[in-house]
Amino acid sequence: MAREICLRQLAVRPRTRAELAKVLARREISEEVIAEVLDRYDEVGIIDDAAFARAWVTSRHQGRGLARRALANELRRRGVDAEVATEALETLDEDEEAATARTLVDRKLRTATGTPDQVFRRLVGMLARKGYPAGVAIRAVKDALGARDAEAAEFADQIDADAMADQENDNLS
């Protein structure tokens, strides 16, 4: 029965070992049977948390534009070991993360309304919710605003991204 439950779960989408263990425990399967089934599935490669984490990072970064911090939280909630998650997250480099942040800002900026200050705050907030560090978010928005129009460029010139990021980091401490 435990094998069938796992296979049905895996038919819907890839799952981590912890997710499958949780489903089986909810179905009142004994811990010994859970361990036996999941160990066997590990051996034959049906479940592979490292492959799951790598695929999750790639998919969620490209699809939703999530940054490393947000991806780390998602992997943790799915029961992926911290070391495995760290290895998967290392596939994203800082330049790629900054480029994705800029792409997200450019896309949102096309339909943004309000004063440059309002737009700046909204866009930095959007990136923060996606897990981007303050410095990356502020720089991406500042650069995008600088390229938008004269009023936005004038506002962007007044922004000291490094000082704002340092202040934000101090506030978090």
Q: Which residues contact 30 (CB under 8 A, 6 or more apart)?
A: none
Residues 111 and 168 in one domain: yes
User: Same structural domain for residues 37 and 106?
Assistant: no
DSSP state of 132: -
Q: Are residues 8 and 23 in the same domain?
A: yes
* Structural domain containing residue 8: 2-44
DSSP-H helix ranges across the chain = 2-12, 17-26, 31-44, 49-64, 68-77, 82-89, 94-109, 116-129, 134-146, 150-157, 161-172
Q: Are residues 26 and 69 in the same domain?
A: no
Regarding whether 79 and 18 lie in a shared domain, the answer is no
Q: Is the pTM of this model over 0.75?
A: yes
120 and 106 housed in the same domain: yes
In order along its 173 residues, the chain shows pLDDT tens digits of: 889 999 999 999 889 999 999 999 999 999 999 999 999 999 998 999 999 999 999 999 999 999 999 999 999 999 999 999 999 999 998 899 999 999 999 999 999 988 888 999 999 999 999 999 998 999 999 889 888 777 776 777 777 767 666 666 666 55
Q: How many domains does the chain have?
A: 3
Q: How far is CA 125 from the centre of its chain?
A: 15
Residues 78 and 108 in one domain: no
Single-letter amino acid code for the residue at 116: P
Q: What pLDDT does 9 receive? A: 93
Is there a single domain that holds both residue 166 and residue 98?
yes
